[in-house]
């Protein structure tokens, strides 16, 4: 933009995002298990205009994608209320829902614990066998005192369960809180009935204690899910909340970041976070981009460079021009990518979902069968109903439904802390299966920032012409040509209508003829000399040809990482489109004996297919733009990506920074995640194998059932959390 628009004019700019699919986020209360999650998703997806709906059980949010026409928030909320869930739109800056819920559960937990301890004190005489010697009127008094404590305590502490069950029943649905509420209310009702009759069989202590342990389990479950909560959820908290905007008259105005529009001039002082993605107009500074790239060393920036939302100007003040709105920044894009991966359904998640769907009807039939069986055996309705309630509580499929999603969320957070952004739902599952790794060279094994070797010797006009074509491409060689031209003082104006052929080069057709920039074959250079390094050519319409030679440096840890992968038993290859000499030099430097050079994208795919034909599971590591077909052909894929390319790659995951070590971390986390997921399946299945028969035969009371059910959910979440900090180096030797 040549001129900075006025604030009023900028506010009237059309919003291109409104023409695309729209996304919004709802906070959904009352979700406690996989059945709740599926119910919310099915309800939202059934609404006309909703394209997709994904629920993140860890943070209680539903991410909804609608058509460009949009769907009213009220429509979504009413639909969820209709099936028993309270919902509202997420408001940025609001107190996280889990924080409010934690405080509420703690209060109710305190009331239940206080009431249970006092009722237990009044029941000591009965349970100690002194009741037979106690005066009947005194015993009745203790029962009534217990009732006076228990009734208000249950009415207050049990609200989360009662309200959730009531919403479900109003919607003619069942959820896990229905049998819980039924168990508590039946115990209270029977106890009150027996107290009125003057009977000894009262269960006030059992009812309140049951509620106490259920609240402990629910609180710990919420607290542990909060710890495992999405890194994407916390990422947006690193944004600047306000920006200093310079108006056309030279005055400044402090605006919320959400009101910043493309074209506005933003002032960033030393020590401030950059509010939105922007281009530097004036000023030189050092910017801490560790949030984006994973590199702790600040990057020096100057006029013309791009800086990104959430990064910090460590030293130096800048005047910048906003390039995007807050919701379209790189930081927001990364958050969306991570959120999508955390919410998506991998193979293990789909397996657990199918099991849970079959499990639900089986549980209710088992509860009914238990009640009928006890009645037929002549035990009466009271013990029969107690056993049936215990079965319903103990068989809630929470642990099974949480087994894999909890691992997926924790793994995504760990990867992000190490500069890796997971994009594909089952990417980690596939990475845990690979035995062969194929590297591209330029931008993968190397830094990806080649420099023009003989820039000063190239004719000024030819360099300018090549730069005008290269300005339209993100290829490392194109960027190197543009940088060399600018260093020579050439003003680079990007040519319009430049066609890029992946793996070949750039072409531009004008009235005078066609100009090509690319490989010797693409430019049809007859008799091109053997390449001593990476070389591309410029062929002008008059038939003139100019060679551009480049050099690139290997990543600092390339040799070490390749050596560790080989030691772990992986077969490693290089497939590159560069010249043979350059590829041979890189392969020798990192210790790879199997390599191929001068390959087109189709050739890379053919080699990957050949490896797959041998029964190998291939991990393709390459540039996300030029190697997109090869990335898609691999069993799994990783891409080193510059910040600007982060949302454009076709890989399962993207790693940032100048080192290859994130590849090892990704493989280690993939194996660790698979192990944790299988362990969680074992915990869920073992829990049901042990406790369900005990509940059916009456050895597990509703109180024991509540403790066991809560413990199983906590166990799978806690096991998933082990992945967050666990040292995984010992897995490397088994990754073959």
The distance of Cα 182 from the centroid of its chain, to the nearest Å, equals 37
DSSP conformation class of 444: I
DSSP conformation class of 272: P
d(CA 597, CA 442): 11
Radius of gyration of the chain (CA): 32
The distance of Cα 576 from the centroid of its chain, to the nearest Å, equals 31
Residues 6+ apart with CB under 8 A from 208: 112, 115, 116, 119, 149, 150, 153, 154, 157
d(CA 3, CA 581): 48
The SS3 call for residue 63 is strand
d(CA 52, CA 60): 17
Q: Which two tokens stand for residue 690?
A: 């042990």
Inter-residue contact 456 to 592 (CB < 8 Å): no
- The torsion angles phi and psi of 474, rounded to 5 degrees, stand at -100, 0
Other beta carbons within 10 angstroms of residue 719's beta carbon come to 20
d(CA 656, CA 514): 37
Q: What residues act catalytically? A: 440
Closest-CA residue to 672 (of 633, 628, 719)? 719
- The torsion angles phi and psi of 380, rounded to 5 degrees, stand at 90, 165
d(CA 262, CA 321): 7
Beta bridge partners of 279: 306, 321
Element (H, E) at 624: none
Q: Which two tokens stand for residue 483?
A: 């940088």
The distance of Cα 252 from the centroid of its chain, to the nearest Å, equals 38
Beta bridge partners of 88: 27
Q: Residue 378: is it exposed, middle or buried by C-beta count within 10 angstroms (0-12/13-18/19+)?
A: exposed
Evaluated on CA atoms 613, 615, 621, 624, the torsion sign reads positive
Residues 6+ apart with CB under 8 A from 364: 174, 392
Inter-residue contact 473 to 569 (CB < 8 Å): no
Inter-residue contact 336 to 233 (CB < 8 Å): no
d(CA 195, CA 142): 10
Inter-residue contact 495 to 471 (CB < 8 Å): yes
Beta bridge partners of 507: 499, 516
d(CA 260, CA 274): 12
d(CA 326, CA 259): 8
């Amino acid at each position: 933009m040549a001129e900075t628009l006025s604030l009023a004019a900028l506010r009237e700019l059309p919003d291109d995002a409104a023409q695309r699919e729209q996304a919004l986020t709802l906070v959904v209360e009352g979700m406690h298990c996989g059945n709740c999650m599926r119910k919310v998703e099915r309800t939202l997806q059934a609404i006309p205009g909703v394209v997709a709906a994904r629920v993140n059980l860890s943070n209680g949010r539903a991410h909804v994608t609608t058509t460009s026409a949009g769907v009213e928030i009220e429509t979504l909320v009413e639909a969820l209320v209709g099936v028993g869930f309270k919902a509202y739109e997420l408001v940025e800056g609001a107190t996280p829902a889990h924080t409010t819920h934690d405080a509420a559960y703690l209060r109710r937990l305190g009331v239940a614990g206080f009431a249970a301890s006092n009722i237990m004190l009044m029941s000591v005489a009965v349970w100690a066998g002194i009741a037979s010697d106690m005066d009947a009127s005194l015993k009745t008094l203790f029962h009534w005192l217990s009732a006076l404590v228990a009734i208000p305590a249950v009415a207050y502490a049990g609200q989360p369960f009662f309200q959730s069950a009531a919403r479900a029943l109003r919607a003619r649905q069942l959820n896990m809180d229905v049998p819980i509420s039924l168990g508590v209310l039946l115990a209270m009702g029977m106890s009150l009935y027996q107290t009125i009759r003057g009977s000894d069989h009262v269960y006030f202590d059992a009812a309140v204690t049951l509620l106490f342990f259920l609240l402990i389990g629910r609180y710990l479950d919420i607290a542990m899910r909060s710890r495992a909560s999405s890194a994407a959820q916390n990422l947006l908290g690193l944004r600047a909340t306000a920006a200093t905007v310079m108006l056309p008259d030279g005055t400044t105005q402090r605006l919320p970041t959400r009101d910043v529009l493309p074209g506005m001039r933003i002032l960033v002082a030393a020590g401030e976070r950059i509010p939105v993605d922007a281009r530097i107009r004036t000023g030189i500074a050092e910017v801490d981009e560790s949030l984006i790239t994973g590199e702790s060393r600040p990057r020096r920036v100057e006029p013309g460079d791009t800086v990104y939302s959430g990064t910090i100007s460590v030293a130096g003040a800048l005047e910048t021009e906003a390039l995007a709105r807050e919701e379209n920044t790189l930081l927001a894009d990364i958050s969306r990518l991570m959120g999508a991966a955390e919410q998506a359904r991998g193979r293990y998640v789909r397996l657990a979902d199918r099991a849970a769907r079959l499990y639900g009807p089986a549980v209710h039939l088992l509860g009914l069968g238990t009640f009928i069986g006890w009645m037929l055996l002549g035990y009466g309705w009271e013990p029969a109903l107690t056993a049936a309630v215990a079965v319903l509580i103990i068989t809630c499929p929470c642990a099974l439904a949480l087994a894999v999603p909890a691992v997926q969320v924790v793994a995504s957070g760990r990867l992000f802390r190490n500069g890796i952004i997971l994009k594909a739902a089952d990417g980690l599952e596939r990475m845990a299966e690979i035995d062969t790794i194929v590297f591209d060279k330029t931008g993968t094994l190397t830094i990806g920032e080649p420099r023009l070797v003989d820039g000063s010797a190239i004719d000024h006009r030819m360099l300018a012409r090549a730069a005008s074509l290269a300005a339209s491409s993100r290829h490392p060689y194109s960027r190197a040509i543009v940088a060399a031209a600018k260093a020579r003082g050439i003003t680079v104006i990007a040519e319009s209508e430049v066609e890029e052929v992946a793996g070949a080069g750039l072409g531009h057709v004008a009235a005078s003829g066609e100009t090509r920039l690319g490989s010797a074959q693409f430019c049809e250079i007859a008799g091109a000399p053997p390449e001593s390094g990476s070389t591309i050519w410029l062929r002008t319409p008059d038939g003139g040809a100019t060679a551009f030679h480049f050099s690139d440096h290997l990543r600092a840890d390339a040799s070490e990482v390749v050596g560790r992968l080989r030691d772990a038993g992986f077969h490693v290859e290089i497939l590159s489109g560069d010249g043979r000499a350059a590829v041979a030099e890189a392969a020798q430097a990192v210790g790879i004996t199997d390599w191929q050079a001068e390959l087109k994208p189709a050739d890379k795919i053919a080699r990957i297919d050949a490896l797959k034909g041998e029964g190998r599971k291939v991990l393709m590591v390459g540039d996300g733009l030029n190697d997109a077909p090869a990335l898609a052909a691999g069993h799994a894929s990783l891409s080193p990506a510059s910040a600007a390319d982060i949302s454009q790659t076709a890989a399962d995951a993207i790693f940032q920074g100048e080192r290859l070590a994130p590849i090892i971390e990704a493989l280690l986390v993939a194996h660790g995640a698979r192990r944790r997921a299988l362990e969680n399946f074992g915990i869920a299945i073992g829990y049901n194998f042990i406790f369900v028969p005990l509940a059916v035969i009456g050895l597990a009371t509703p109180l024991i059932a509540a403790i066991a059910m809560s413990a199983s959910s906590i166990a799978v979440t806690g096991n998933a959390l082990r992945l967050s900090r666990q040292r995984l180096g010992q897995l490397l030797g088994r990754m073959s």
